[in-house]
Amino acid sequence: MSLNDLGFSKKGQALYKKIIALQEELKSQQVIPEDQFNQDIVADMIRDGAPLISKLPPCMGRDTFQDTIHRLCLLFIQYVPERKGEIEEIMNLRSQFYAGMDIQAILKEHKQIKADLLALILENAYRPYYLALAEKLRNLNDLNTWEKHYCPVCGETASLASLDEQDGQRFLWCSYCTTGWHFRRLACLECGNINHEELKYFYLEDDSNLQVHTCTKCKSYIKTVRRGVIKQKNLPLIDAQTVCLDLLAEREGYRR
């Protein structure tokens, strides 16, 4: 099983579920600096259109971060045993991982470790902090005025949209930190195009609840589901499970 196949396979999805459960558990242990996180920083974020993380960089304690890497590596060994040697090497090196580390130097020195696996593990090790930050922000602001195609917390491009059938509202979702925010329904996320003849959608024959909305002008797309289908904490899993739609869209010349 390669890392690219993870979303497709049953084993890969089982791993995703374990990782999500671990990250939810670790979320409550994160310490967000109270003196810096307040209404003022949120107002600045919205005014500048700059994700929160650019104003409040992640500050996970070294021990918490390294312990998270250790626990993630144990899960990866269990589900991706064919890369056990590489994962164990990452696990043994964890004391070298901290904010501001030189990843390229680590990869250069440890040739057995491939960049894709290290990036995946580190990305998942930071995630509990982002989940905690996103939850704090949700309690402070409903994000109805954000209206950008990227996440207000971590800056990732929205990976999914959902439509509320009752009031016709559209929400965008970040599968990394699970933030959701309002976005006008009949406009392209990327270029703002509102010409409905250039805004189209398609879906797989057997499931009209799962659609790909495209803009033929700038060739961008967004996977779109009915609101009820979204379970916030499972967003990374939903994103992975619908990777066939990404492949279809890419085959038609669209990009995320």
Contacting residues toward Zn ion, per CB under 5 A: 151, 153-154, 156, 174, 176-177, 179, 188, 190-191, 193, 215, 217-218
Q: Is 129 helix (H, G, I), strand (E, B) or coil?
A: helix
Q: Is 76 exposed, middle or buried (0-12, 13-18, 19+ CB in 10 A)?
A: buried
* Shortest spacing between CB 151 and Zn ion, in angstroms: 3
Closest CB to Zn ion among 53 and 75?
53
Long-range (24+ apart) CB contacts under 8 A made by 78-87 are 78/15, 79/11, 79/12, 79/14, 79/15, 79/18, 80/1, 80/3, 80/15, 82/1, 83/117, 85/112, 86/112, 86/113, 86/114, 86/117, 87/117, 87/121
* Shortest spacing between CB 86 and Zn ion, in angstroms: 28
Closest CB to Zn ion among 141 and 193?
193
Closest CB to Zn ion among 80 and 177?
177
* Shortest spacing between CB 110 and Zn ion, in angstroms: 30
Written as six digits, the tokens of 83 are: 């890369």
* Shortest spacing between CB 150 and Zn ion, in angstroms: 8
Closest CB to Zn ion among 69 and 158?
158
* Shortest spacing between CB 158 and Zn ion, in angstroms: 9
Q: Is 119 helix (H, G, I), strand (E, B) or coil?
A: helix
In this structure, are residues 113 and 6 in contact, taking their beta carbons and an 8 Å threshold?
no
Closest CB to Zn ion among 14 and 119?
119
How many Å from the N-terminal Cα to the C-terminal Cα in the chain? 25
In this structure, are residues 45 and 101 in contact, taking their beta carbons and an 8 Å threshold?
no
Closest CB to Zn ion among 87 and 172?
172
* Shortest spacing between CB 105 and Zn ion, in angstroms: 28
Alpha helices in 80-197 (DSSP H): 84-92, 103-109, 115-140
* Shortest spacing between CB 104 and Zn ion, in angstroms: 25
Q: From its phi and psi, is residue 87 left (phi > 0), alpha (psi between -120 and 50) or beta?
A: alpha
Closest CB to Zn ion among 80 and 160?
160
Among 228, 204, 229, 202, which residue's Cα sits nearest to residue 213? 202
